[in-house]
Amino acid sequence: MKHEDVKADKKMVKAAVHKHEKEKHAGKPLTKLAKGGKTNRQMKPMGRGLAKVANQKKSSFSYKRGG
């Protein structure tokens, strides 16, 4: 995929998400979309596969640290 296509897609997705939030969740702050992929800090307690899924579902994933 071309860099321009990815950039345009990200802009389109961000606009659509923010439009939904303004209409359905008025008065609440807009979501900040996740940058990058899963991190080692996420993979340690939950594994590579689940960290990938969690990263795709939420912009800022919180998890319990293993002790």
Q: Where are the domains of the chain?
A: 3-57
Q: Which token pair is 53? A: 């899924």
Q: Which residues of 33-51 are buried (b: 16+ CB within 10 A; e: fewer)?
A: eeeeebeeebbeebeeeeb
Per-residue model confidence (pLDDT) at position 10? 86
Note the pLDDT tens digit of each residue in 49-64.
888 777 777 655 555 5
Note the pLDDT tens digit of each residue in 28-50.
988 877 677 777 877 888 888 88
Mean pLDDT of 6-11: 87
SS3 state of residue 13: helix
